[in-house]
Structure 1
Amino acid sequence: MTDPQVALFMLGIFIFTVFLGFPIAFTLMAMGIGFGYYAYFDARRMWREFDRLEETASWWDSTSTWIEGLFNNRIFDLFINQTFTVMSNEVLTAVPLFLFMGYIVERANIVDRLFSTLNVASKNLPGSMGVAALITCALFATATGIVGAVVTLMGLLALPAMLKARYDNSFASGIICAGGTLGILIPPSIMLIVYAAASNVSIVRLYAAALLPGFTLVGLYLIYVVGRSILQPSVAPRPTDDEVPDVPFGRLLFMIFTSFVPLAFLIFAVLGSILFGLATPTEAASIGALGGILLAFAYRAMTWQRMRESVYLTVRTTAMVCWLFVGSYTFSSVFSYLGGEHLISEFVQGLDMSPIMFLLLAQLIIFLLGWPLEWSEIIIIFVPIFLPLLPLFEIDPLFFGILVALNLQTSFLTPPMAMSAYYLKGIAPPEVRLTQIFAGCMPFLFCVFISMALMYIFPQIVFYLPEQFYGQ
């Protein structure tokens, strides 16, 4: 078996063990070290050294030296160096800070105020509760970037209100599930930070590139919600005065100022300081974390227990991401050393594909991987396989990253492994069936496909803001 074949065998075993349910980070590290020992093992040198020592040293000294030689393999140096590289990566430093900001905001009782305010403000719009829930999801998902937290909290808050207002079960469920995934794409996205670390693309340019696609997707969602509410009023009846009371204009302004403005200001301050070069992502994330704490104190929601929970969840999620990186870097280094990366490159070149065909194939693979895997595992493990192929097709990794971020929205909305649906089903009333939630996600899934098609047809949607802010 040649080294490239060993590399493909290594990749096949990894995929098989993932589907068996083994922890992915530790599987990557074990596979990388195991196959790396074979890749870097020099048997001839070890036996020559053993023969030399056998003639000049005692049996005990020669045996101990031979055993020491078994562990004198460069894979261990590689593993230590990769661990140090990941833990000292300045880009990844922003991950725990943004996560902490999100967990603090989640526990600050901001979302219920925000939904109530938007519900009153949009009362005269068709599908007003759906519009309010979707905008709340978008803002909250942007602030947290944690899909499960957004879907769960909005499912507890907005779903009962919509069902009480006689909204169709499927329609209401789809709004919550789709809105909760927007934090993957809209900055300050944790996913984009992880992609930047994996691809060496500027996180600042990625954030600028993601803004218009993110707003495009939110716009498509809103068009669908309002349009269907007009064409099919039975799925989203207009709320009565008892359900959403009329509020004087002055009172409405006060509600907006105390609920919408603080969270929006926090998000725009963090994002604006990054985009305009006033702060690095890490510095902006630090200010965001501090701003989240101040918001929690301002809303009288900060307790020692909530602070402790936020720190614990931040540490747990950050450790998962960092150890995934360590395992992925070790695995990919060995895979490349054995010639697997070169073999895949030759195979893809032999298919004689156009750039658009390669993009479609890559996005199809990522779409299918989204069924069994989390976005973090796809970005850290599988996306780096595609990155070396991008120069062959003259594809900008910035453009590829935004397409991947859009594509990963589908992994949370596509049955049978639509995680958003399962998050929502876990806290939804018993009358809301899982099949209804799946059905409600489908139209929003088509909105994602439409937004991806728009990116292909009009790539300036991605490149316009980075070029305006930072040049070519």
Structure 2
Amino acid sequence: MLASWELGNPELGVLMLGLFVVFIMFGFPIAFTLMALGFGFGYFAMGDIVFALVVQRAYSVMTNDTLVAIPLFVFMGYIIERANILDRLFHSIQIAVGGLPGSLAIATLVTCAMFATATGIVGAVVTLMGLLAFPAMLRAGYDIRLSAGVVCAGGCLGILIPPSVMLILYGATAGVSVPKLYAGALFPGLMLAGLYILYVLVRCALNPSLAPKIPAENRRYPLVKIVWSLGTSFFPLAVLMLSVLGAIFFGIATPTEAAAVGALGSLLLAAAYRSLTFGKLKESVILTARTSAMVCWLFVGSFIFSSIFAFLGGHQPIEQFVTHLNLSPFWFLIMTQVIIFVLGWPLEWTEIVVIFVPIFLPLLDNFGIDPVFFGVLIALNIQTSFLSPPVAMAPFYLKGIAPPHVNINDIFAGVMPFLLLVIVAMAMFYTFPEIGLWLPRYLYG
């Protein structure tokens, strides 16, 4: 082991960060790797005092009121998923847009955007829509690549569209108001979903063979049936989510209180549809506990790691390096987003947000960058983490439940146009930041 006089504290911090990346590449568990490195380097640099620091940081995480919203929002999403509410929603939207080019693909994207307001769990959305919408598109003669791209891209919207769990973690990490982040992400999220829908409309109109129209006799529904179908599936869920988000945006309730109301509302909605059984409730509780435990352990590990990293001054060489580059705000944002894009291949979004994003946060003031703008830009960027080959989680989720004749290369090819649309959305957001900043400024000053 290197003696403390051989290696200064900032260099120890950089070494600590480098070892974390190496261990992750070898497949070590993220949370426990963070804690082990924090303990090891902390004890080496600080001695026994590290134990008191670790207890203090772990306690501060567990008493963070904002984080309580995570299990509640996750539970709400699992209840809506398990209660087959999405099946009804997809069918009713399909009826409403049946005459449009690529109607099944559009119905898939709209359903994903709606479900994104209930859960930010990408794997759950991609898997569910892969079982529900993907076979329906293939049976209708849709192009495999287009169908795969729609399911994967639509399934990732939950990372961006409120109430996103990712934005809660970013807010807790960066010390930024979660309601402001939600308000800032709303229009960019809708913009990205709109770009996806516009792309499908234009591409299917130019090349109808990609998405054969449903026979006219199968899509001639009376207006009363269309309205009734939407009234029993689309509007109840829309009212629930608008109530939750509205309560947060207008300061009626904190994110945690709104999440609790949303969780209760999802139970009542499932009961109203007569889809709430003890088995489904048990599954939802177990899945929520599993997901919440993962997030909490990760957050505890990351706080221990980041506390020791800050004590060692590991951020100083990074800040000095960036300062010496003499970057403009534009090139600073380009650099950070490229780093986050590359990190998205080996790492989950949770590790990126709680470990690497805090390295950039102290530099935002130097470049005059709004942390809300930065957080929403990261949420847009993380869409690419789930879509970028070769380590793209969304295509692998879909491949796991797709028919045998659908190969991974077709899925990868299908997501590429949507990956480019994410980059277009990021460029639009950078060029016109008011897309995301107007609403929080209007609501909160």
TM band (smaller chain): over 0.9
Match of 1:184 among 159, 163, 179: 159
Compare CA radii of gyration and give the structure with the larger one.
1
TM-superposed deviation, 1:372: 1.1
Give me the whole-angstrom Cα distance separating, in 1, the residues matched to 2:372 and 2:226: 41
Q: Determine the structure 1 residue equivalent to 2:291.
A: 317
TM-superposed deviation, 1:225: 0.3
Match of 1:163 among 129, 138, 142: 138
Match of 1:24 among 30, 55, 61: 30
Q: Determine the structure 2 residue equivalent to 1:58.
A: none
Structure 2 unaligned regions, length at least 5: 1-6
Give me the whole-angstrom Cα distance separating, in 1, the residues matched to 2:168 and 2:411: 30
Q: Determine the structure 2 residue equivalent to 1:458.
A: 432
Letter in 1 for 2:56: N
State the Cα RMSD in Å. Answer: 1.0
Match of 1:339 among 313, 316, 325: 313
**1:302 maps onto 2:304 in alignment:** no
**Which is worse superposed, 279-288 or 337-346?**
337-346
Give me the whole-angstrom Cα distance separating, in 1, the residues matched to 2:313 and 2:96: 60
TM-superposed deviation, 1:375: 0.9
Match of 1:361 among 327, 330, 335: 335
Mapped contact 1:113–1:259 kept (Cα < 8 A): yes
**1:80 maps onto 2:55 in alignment:** yes
1:46-70 superposed Cα distances (whole Å, 9 cap, x missing partner): xxxxxxxxxxxxxxxxxxxxxxxxx
After superposition, residues 220-369 of structure 1 pair within 5 angstroms as 220-241=195-216, 244-369=218-343
**1:377 maps onto 2:383 in alignment:** no
**1:96 maps onto 2:71 in alignment:** yes
Q: Determine the structure 2 residue equivalent to 1:64.
A: none
SS of residue matched to 2:170 = helix
Mapped contact 1:99–1:314 kept (Cα < 8 A): yes
Aligned residues: 439
Match of 2:19 among 13, 23, 28: 13
TM-superposed deviation, 1:122: 0.5
Give me the whole-angstrom Cα distance separating, in 2, the residues matched to 1:432 and 1:28: 38
Match of 2:186 among 201, 207, 211: 211
- Aligned identity (percent) is 58
1:77-132 superposed Cα distances (whole Å, 9 cap, x missing partner): 01100110000001101001001101111101111111111111101111111111
Mapped contact 2:79–2:270 kept (Cα < 8 A): yes
TM-superposed deviation, 1:309: 1.1
Mapped contact 2:116–2:162 kept (Cα < 8 A): no
Q: Determine the structure 2 residue equivalent to 1:54.
A: none
SS of residue matched to 1:105 = helix
1:307-356 superposed Cα distances (whole Å, 9 cap, x missing partner): 11111111111111111111111111111111211221111101111111
After superposition, residues 417-456 of structure 1 pair within 5 angstroms as 417-456=391-430
SS of residue matched to 2:387 = coil
Q: Determine the structure 2 residue equivalent to 1:67.
A: none
- TM-score (ref. length: structure 2): 0.97
Letter in 1 for 2:209: S
Give me the whole-angstrom Cα distance separating, in 1, the residues matched to 2:296 and 2:136: 39
Give me the whole-angstrom Cα distance separating, in 2, the residues matched to 1:195 and 1:84: 19
After superposition, residues 112-131 of structure 1 pair within 5 angstroms as 112-131=87-106
Give me the whole-angstrom Cα distance separating, in 1, the residues matched to 2:113 and 2:9: 48
Mapped contact 1:296–1:302 kept (Cα < 8 A): yes
TM-superposed deviation, 1:141: 2.2
Letter in 2 for 1:325: F
Q: Determine the structure 1 residue equivalent to 2:119.
A: 144
Letter in 1 for 2:123: G
Which ranges of 4 or more aligned residues in structure 1 deviate by more than 6 Å?
none
Structure 1 unaligned regions, length at least 5: 42-72
Give me the whole-angstrom Cα distance separating, in 2, the residues matched to 1:31 and 1:447: 38
TM-superposed deviation, 1:373: 1.1
Mapped contact 1:106–1:144 kept (Cα < 8 A): no
Q: Determine the structure 2 residue equivalent to 1:398.
A: 372
TM-superposed deviation, 1:27: 0.5
Q: Determine the structure 2 residue equivalent to 1:153.
A: 128
TM-superposed deviation, 1:23: 0.4
Give me the whole-angstrom Cα distance separating, in 2, the residues matched to 1:141 and 1:420: 15
Give me the whole-angstrom Cα distance separating, in 1, the residues matched to 2:216 and 2:134: 19
- TM-score (ref. length: structure 1): 0.92
SS of residue matched to 1:92 = helix
Letter in 2 for 1:102: G
TM-superposed deviation, 1:241: 4.2
TM-superposed deviation, 1:451: 0.5
Q: Determine the structure 1 residue equivalent to 2:4.
A: none
1:158-215 superposed Cα distances (whole Å, 9 cap, x missing partner): 1111111110000011000000000100001111001000000000110110011111
